[in-house]
Chain A
Amino acid sequence: MFAFVVNRMLQAIGVMLVVALVAFVISTYVGDPINNMVGQEATHEDRAQLRKDLGLDDPAPVQFGRFVADALQGNFGISYQMKRPVSRLIVERLPATLELVFVAAVIALALGVIGGVYTGLRRNAVSSRAIMTISLVGVSLPTFVIGILLIYLFAVLPKGCIHGFYLFGQLLFTCAELAAISLPSFGRGDTVDIGSWQSGLFTADGWRHLILPGITLSLFNLTLILRLVRSEMMEVLRTDYIKFARARGLTNRAVHFGHALKNTLVPVITIAGIQIGTLIAFSTITETVFQWPGMGLLFIQSVQFADVPIMTAYLVVAALIFVVINFTVDVLYAAIDPRLRADRAATGRA
């Protein structure tokens, strides 16, 4: 087990170094940040001086070495655009992304598992087929289209009401009621400061702001988990031990939830873990659409500005998140599943 852990750690360090190198190389091709940092009246000499001050004239290996040495101390430099330390910027923006991902993950997991179990158990019912078809929407529509659509349906339309909302000639909601239940289209709303963590989970306004972006971000994973659980469920229900459990006379509930579901969930957890890493690192599009002040939005803004310190720091942090999650999942797997451990011992030298 120890050798396994050490092995994984070395691999992790190797991955981090490669990512840092790639981030660094890319940053030399993104364009000239100097132009964005000075006004249009600055002279050639000013720009050359600024370039020298920032160390942009040094050879690439020197700049990379400096970058790695600083990064190991948690110092990612100072943002060209905002002139604030990058590490502090990332720490400020991380809570927003993590809360959004938390809500999206909960929605995806809860609805995905419930939906998957339901459609797995009642394979041919009309409702199941309907759910499967609608879930296709989650994977086929791009995230920004879903986001804009939800904004239009829940933020713009209700407020544009003139006569009230009628269905089959009956007045269901007055305009005032619609406006009251409409949802906000951007931002985090009122947040509470808990130390340096700005949280939107403790105010009603914060929760209202979390709904639309949370749904948008969760849709893809929801569909993924739903289909995964469904197919795993159908697979597990065909196995021998389920047949024996039924033969023994166990109730449906005991069979489905006591035995089948537990075995279904193992691969789902692996996938969900990786997907959460993806959500954290790549919530960029949802954050841009909903102006959610998280790391993804910070990253997009830094690309447009050629703010190299933020870009490289973000890529390194994203890689770190993935590496940590995958490392945890691997170790957990080996800890949970004795077969993995036994195999390694068996194939080891001796």
Chain B
Amino acid sequence: MRRGRRPKWMINIGKERIDILFKLADNEFSRFPERSHRYVKLARNISTKYNIPMPPEWKRRFCKNCYKFLKPSINCKVRLSKGKVHFKCMECGKVIRVPYEKEKNQKRRKKIESYLIKKRADE
């Protein structure tokens, strides 16, 4: 075993625990926001200890500056501008920017392809 690497069964349990904690945080946020911030902290402890990357569906659901749980439209603003998605944390004011250039190009490619197929059909 390399340094810092864990056996597979440990990583599987860790992944399940992170998923359980984030689901609970999402459910409890409306009544007890303090609890959901605490669950994010526990989930991050597991992910840093066992070298588990955050799952993609929960990656943007906490602030990377103050580590608080984010719920869009309540304590988080989501906007599109300049080819990026902006997530603004309303607790500390930090903005996370994630580019969506790939999706843009894919959409453009699809449009051109469909146009070409139409042209061939006409000929």
**Are A and B associated in one complex?**
no
B contact set with A: CB distance below 8 Å: none
